[in-house]
Structure 1
Amino acid sequence: MDLISNIQQWLADHPVSTAIIKYLVWVVLVFLLIKWVRQLVKKNLPDNSLKYKAQKAIEVIGYFLIILITISYFTGNINDFGLAIGLLTAGITITLQELILSIAGSFYIFFVRVYKPGDRIELNGIKGDVIDIDSIYTTMMEIGEWVSSDNYSGRIVKISNAFVFKGPVYNYSLDFPFVWDEFDLPIRYGSDMELAKQIVISVAQEKLSEYVKDSIAGWKDVVNKYYIEDAQVDPTLAITITDNWIQFNLRYIVDYKKRRMTKHLLNEEIGRRILATDGKVTLASSTFEIVRIPTLEVNQDKSIEK
């Protein structure tokens, strides 16, 4: 009983310390409540997408409760919310501006739907698939760097959410999960041009018909939503005459996650059909034409004794 009495007396003699202790207790209780509710949601929601969104919503609500508790303790009146936020911001803007911008960026990403988990984006010069978004960082599985095309490098990258305010955000899958790709094919002069065009176009139509069909409806939605011109989603072939060969440029639409494999399938099938033409169509390679061979003079010294 003496211990309890001493604690009560100490709390009565130190009202400021008492208020701080009560504040910290409330904050700890809120964090424990957030953790418990998140675990409860994780166990009972079967859908991964809904589970992820629910956990993030609980986290945001928890931070909001902590802000309200902080204001009520240090201002004494929740009606002073605007004034308290202004004073608090003025005091910590310089030291915590990056943190504040990151938290603001998380709200911006969530409400404006700049990107979401599962999207492929490029942010601050880093390209990858978004695997998590929290209140401060966006976590991505990196693509590229020392590996070619759209393959994972194996590195997991955390980028501050503040970067959504500092530069462009490239989203490969928002509204329209397709991209345009192209490659060049050198055809030797003297080849059957009509047969070559027929081979390239027929292979493109066969291999890309599914992407073209799926992209038509999606592109119409993009045209209706944004101020943008209509575009050609069918494969197109452009021919350019160069010094060494006739260059075929095939442009086509493809799922953003299957760009590398699709290019491989197109090249493989086109190459196979060109070989089957028995020389009517031939792929070109770099050639060099020797215009003039310089004259060489050889002087023989006859004074050499035999």
Structure 2
Amino acid sequence: MPSISSMVAIENIKHWIAEHPSLSSFLKFFLWITAIFLLMHWARIFLKKNLPDNSVKYKSQKGIEIIGYILIGILAISYFTGNIKDFGLAVGLLTAGITITLQELILSIAGSFYIFFVRVYKPGDRIEIHSIKGDVIDIDSIYTTMMEIGEWVSSDNYSGRIVKLSNAFVFKGPVYNYSRDFPFVWDEFNLPIKYGSDIELAKQLVISVAQDLLSEYVSASKSNWKQVVGKYYIEDAQVDPTLAITLTDNWIQFNLRYIVDYKKRRSTMHLLNNEINNRILQTKGKVLLSSSTIEIVNIPTVNISDSSNKQ
């Protein structure tokens, strides 16, 4: 049995709450919000433990987060307008009041829905947005989190910096996606071949190496490219390795263009250069790499006089 003092305290609290209805409504609203956040937290933990696939696990947790925020929004409107029928009016008044002060936040939230429904990019994609390039590792209601690549690090290696970028930037400029629809990119490099080399042998050598090392990428990219051509208004493209030759003042420049997995540009270029160099060495001088040369046409005569002999 509760004591008389505790019963008196309870009655006093009830009386005080009855005298302050607005505070009572706020406390109830706070308790409901707390309950929703707790349910969201427990649901995320449950899904994290019971879903085996990381992709499904990530999407389901983000879905729980969106549903929770929608419930909180509906609850807030119903509490502070007094009637859920006033939903449209309340939203209009609320939007008019905060559009200017929270413009960036609103754009970020709208951007998160745009990214999710239009599928501009998803976690795991490599993108470049607002001059920042990296792999997407998380997307929430306000920010896209990326593991940065490039900057002071050559090629497409991670710099080690994690970048948080506002979702509003999807409305402010282009978004370059390296992996959506067509997870390959074209790459190229130049080889300086010395004049006097066996050019036909050099061409066969370079193309042979490219075909041997890139056959897996070529065959996989052909099926992907057909899907891109069928989906978009775009002309067909050459995905087999191609070689172009340019005559320069110092050497014959070989330009090798090829297709490669967007995450393996650096390693593939290393393999190609290494194997081409080995094949050139095996030609025993028939094919030689060149370097910059300077030809001195005429050396001017310089007269040096000793002023001490004139004295």
Q: Deviations over 1:250-273 (max 9, x none)?
A: 000000000000000000000111
The match for 1:219 is: 225
What residue in structure 2 maps to residue 244 of structure 1?
250
Q: What TM-score results when the alignment is normalised by the length of structure 1?
A: 0.97
Q: How does 1:72-83 map to 2 (within 5 A)?
A: 72-83=78-89
User: Within 1, Cα distance between the matches of 2:266 and 2:294?
Assistant: 32
1:196 maps to 202
* Alignment partner, residue 70 of structure 1: 76
Separation in 2 of the partners of 1:126 and 1:15?
52
Aligned to 2:104: 98
Give the 3 Å change call, closer, same or farther, for CA 57–302 of structure 1 in structure 2: closer
1:144 corresponds to 2:150: yes
- Shift in Å at residue 71 of structure 1? 1.1
Structure 1 distance, partners of 2:198, 2:179, is: 40
Matched pairs, number: 305
The unaligned stretches of length 5 or more in structure 2 are 1-6
Counterpart Cα distance in 1 of 2:17 and 2:101: 33
Q: Which residue of the partner structure matches residue 276 of structure 2? A: 270
Distance (whole Å) between structure 1 residues aligned to residue 73 and residue 221 of structure 2 = 45
Query: What does the per-residue CA deviation read over 1:211-262, in whole Å, with 9 as the maximum and x for residues that have no partner?
Result: 0000001000001111111100000101111111111100000000000000
Deviations 1:169-204 (A, max 9, x none): 111000110000000111111111100000100000
> Structure 1 residue 300: deviation in Å?
5.4
Shift of 1:6: 1.3
Stretches of structure 1 lacking an aligned partner (at least 5 in a row): none
Amino acid in the other structure paired with 2:19: D
Secondary structure, counterpart of 1:284 in structure 2: coil
> Any idea what SS the aligned residue of 2:75 has?
helix
Deviations for 1:59-97, whole angstroms, at most 9, x for unmatched residues? 000000001001111222223222211111111112211
* Partner Cα separation in structure 1 for residue 284 and residue 15 of structure 2: 102
Match of 2:213 among 207, 219, 230: 207
Q: TM-score, normalised by structure 2?
A: 0.95
Aligned mate of 1:5, from 3, 11, 15: 11
Letter in 2 for 1:281: V
Give per-residue Cα distances to partners, 1:24-82, cap 9 Å, x unaligned. Answer: 11111111110011111111111111111100000000000001001111222223222
Alpha-carbon separation, structure 2, partners of 1:246 and 1:96:
60
Q: Determine if the alignment matches structure 1 residue 230 to structure 2 residue 236.
A: yes
The residue type paired with residue 214 of structure 2 is L
Distance 2:192 2:168 in 1: 46
Counterpart of 1:256?
262
Counterpart Cα distance in 1 of 2:309 and 2:213? 77
Once residues 169 and 30 of structure 2 are traced to their aligned partners in structure 1, the CA distance between those partners, rounded to angstroms, is 32
Name which of 47, 60, 83 aligns with 2:66.
60
Distance 2:90 2:127 in 1: 37
1:292 aligns to 2:298 (yes or no) = yes
Aligned residue number for residue 119 of structure 2: 113
Cα displacement (A) at 1:301:
6.4
Q: Does 1:161 align with 2:167?
A: yes
Residues 201-210 or 1-10, more deviating: 1-10
Cα RMSD after superposing both structures: 1.4
Q: Distance in 1 between matches of 2:10 and 2:302?
A: 112
Partner Cα distance (1:298, 1:7) in 2: 110
